[in-house]
């Protein structure tokens, strides 16, 4: 008999394009929602990555500033690109746009059933708008939209854990 496999912690990976704006927002907001619901985020693996991410860039300064107001320090965030090794560790992969979902499903075919858009998990259609380069209000609207969708998708994400 082989060794029993250690149970993996619950895990979710958030994916956008450059991993400097939307996916770090989603990662931070999901942690906040877990805490609000009395769930210890330390018991979770919550990360983010990008489909076309430059390696090791900090989060967008507007995102860092806006999340500081929410009591979240994103100054240590560094971007990274998705790869098979990273994706394989997550039972749930949440993208910000249908194009991200499609790209991941094409490039990483065995993971097709684990990749969803945030809107889809929330029972809606569409994309989370990318505010990059826009005014601070656009970033705030995007953060609010991600939070709204995460709240709608929360029970589904919890229920999809292995």
**C-alpha to C-alpha distance for 149 and 16, rounded to whole angstroms:** 15
pLDDT in tens, 53-63: 999 999 999 99
CATH number at residue 93: 3.40.50.2300
Identify the bridge partners of residue 115 per DSSP, sorted by sequence position: 93
Where does the pLDDT of residue 8 fall: very low under 50, low under 70, confident under 90, or very high at 90 and above? confident
161 occurs within a structural domain: no
pTM of the predicted structure, to 2 decimals: 0.94
30 occurs within a structural domain: yes
pLDDT in tens, 122-140: 999 999 999 999 999 999 9
Query: Is it the case that residue 162 has pLDDT exceeding 80?
Result: no
99 occurs within a structural domain: yes
Query: Is it the case that residue 38 has pLDDT exceeding 80?
Result: yes
Catalytic residues: 16, 22, 130
Query: Is it the case that residue 2 has pLDDT exceeding 60?
Result: no
- Structurally, how many domains does the chain consist of? 1
Amino acid 11: pLDDT: 97
124 occurs within a structural domain: yes
4 occurs within a structural domain: no
Encoding tokens for residue 14?
Answer: 């958030």
**Residue that the structure tokens 């996916």 belong to:** 23
pLDDT in tens, 92-113: 999 999 999 999 999 999 999 9
Share above pLDDT 90 across residues of the chain, in percent, rounded to a whole number: 93
Pick the closest to residue 80 from 146, 15, 12 (CA basis): 15
- Give just the sign of the alpha carbon dihedral 151, 16, 90, 160: positive
45 occurs within a structural domain: yes
3 occurs within a structural domain: no
Q: Which domain holds residue 109?
A: 11-156
**DSSP E strands: which ranges in the chain?**
11-16, 45-50, 92-95, 115-117
**C-alpha to C-alpha distance for 102 and 79, rounded to whole angstroms:** 21
135 occurs within a structural domain: yes
């Amino acid at each position: 008999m082989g060794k029993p496999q250690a149970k993996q912690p619950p895990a979710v990976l958030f994916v956008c394009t450059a991993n400097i704006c939307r996916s770090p927002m989603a990662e931070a907001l999901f942690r906040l929602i877990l805490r609000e619901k009395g769930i210890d985020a330390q018991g979770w693996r919550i990360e983010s990555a990008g489909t076309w991410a430059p390696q090791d860039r900090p989060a967008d300064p507007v995102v860092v500033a806006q999340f500081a107001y929410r009591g979240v320090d994103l100054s240590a965030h560094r971007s990274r690109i998705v790869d098979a090794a990273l994706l394989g560790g997550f039972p749930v992969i949440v993208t910000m746009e249908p194009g991200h979902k499609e790209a991941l499903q094409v490039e990483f075919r065995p993971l097709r059933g684990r990749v969803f858009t945030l809107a889809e998990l929330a029972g809606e259609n569409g994309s989370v708008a990318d505010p990059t380069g826009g005014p601070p209000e656009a970033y705030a609207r995007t953060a609010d939209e991600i939070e709204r969708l995460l709240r709608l998708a929360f029970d589904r994400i919890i229920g999809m854990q292995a």
